[in-house]
Structure 1
């Protein structure tokens, strides 16, 4: 055995030992048992689709067989279908740092971005504020929706880097739409600082929490956020296409003027009157009939959060991503991959993005070997670390397999 092999074995043994010690001390380790995961597989794509909580299929069998099959229309009252958007919103609220009565569940993230952005411009109510500042690195749909909202409200879009938002907002700004975590790189943006700057400029801050909710503390109330949206199928494990949510700070609810005033947000929806009168509170964010099957799956899935402190989730998230970067540095030859994710904890979400020239082939082989991440074309390998079910041994294995795959895909380089 050559000196290089001896050194690698020593590194591997040391990292195995460290992973075992970290797993043994992990207060969230037992949460993994709540999820349906394959033995031996490493699932690092929870930032695209969270894993299935084991109890959800049985709960859904009851929803379909009893609530729909037997109670039928009675379930709107007897099974709580009608109140599900607010009830489930109140379950999500503590995960994003919101008091009850400010989060309503329903529709998609895209629809909620549209509602929030148009409503923000209407809440400001100043035609001289003719600009909507938008995160230039945003997930594409947010940009598409923002362009449409700007056309509808007679504003223009001003795209800026998230770090420049504080300097860009001013007397012409109506609202600013920013992603809390960059979906490509995992960079965590300064929600408290940006929110304060936007509000000091007399505008409203709208945040997209898709890549932060369920992975780290958000603090919507504490930081004075005006409006926020997010999905539930990533770190919240609500299932594919599960409904999104809309946060409307209590101080804005009376003036929240939705551009989609559906019958579900009417003050008296069953009166069926031709004129629209908005309901009180966060219910103003509802539009049409709720998607009950997805709602009830999400409600059941959220039970995995019972008794979990978001501070513990954040601590483990940072420890996992630190350890992954340490293992990648130990196993993967220098120059093969480059981390795009900030090293500083204050700037990191719960994923690691690695630039790799052979990213498509590498990710395909990783998945074939049971390490599931995802690809952002053309050259980004993206690994999401979900603290409720990803462990440190998983993390070490993922980095080791990554090194093996890179050697296979890039022989002799």
Structure 2
């Protein structure tokens, strides 16, 4: 078994935070070849992906139009840190400004001038987070607008070649129009799905039904609620009301800005903030995605650095449940140690497909990053 040493450099006495709330310290990027992010639109409609760079050198274009079925590749530095999201139902003026016209993910212009407004499903990357590792995740902390998956592209990196795709490629499908039945099996006729095959199948969540996904967003957090009846009063219970097919959902933190929802103030220290009613609902439909700010332990994917990635909008199928299933299996495979306890083993082991935020990472992050104000 090939082990990658994970060095824990400080005692766990300070706060651990979502890795995207940290900025990498400035350093020389000696490898100019860079990495690629392939952005794919498998949705039925056109979208407008947005990209924000939070550290190092990002792509020349921070936003663009992407037709249904189309792909676009962006180039980023080997130590890039940033996020990708999708905008919906946009229109732009002749100078490229959007002036708030996008229904979700608005960022001021075709070529984004800011991070996208919530709600927006996020793909977040820290390409070089220290100890030769990359950190990445799907995040619903700002809310949800589109189904999304991340697929790792190994780039012939020696440390990545034996890692199975079932451990590295999370997916979040929280929209009924993109959801497959609970009996979903994508491997008929030797087909692949999100880089996986029948010999090493993906761990899909099969617990939620079509009705669960249709109504998962708490009523008060819908950004496009159903039209009121003629008398202006919704019937009770509201679960009987037909919701629109496109049903973006803003997080409780972003809507109400309360400390207990945003894990700030007295709720800031690790362990003092609990998943709220939005987080519970989001985690049910997308187990591998961040559902609140301190969701590191069940949401961050950590692999050896050097990979490129594909971000897929509307991947189809079902949400994955990679991390929880790895924990149940003891967190090990024939090639890598993937359970959240693996980093405690003597000598340290490769951490793949886990979120090991918690207090142990706190010291590590203090050594590697400085706090910045960008949330995620």
TM-score tier after normalising by the smaller chain length = under 0.3
Please identify which structure carries the higher helix content: 1
Please identify which structure carries the higher strand content: 2
Max Rg structure: 1
Q: Which structure has the higher relative contact order (CA within 8 Å, separation 6+)? A: 2
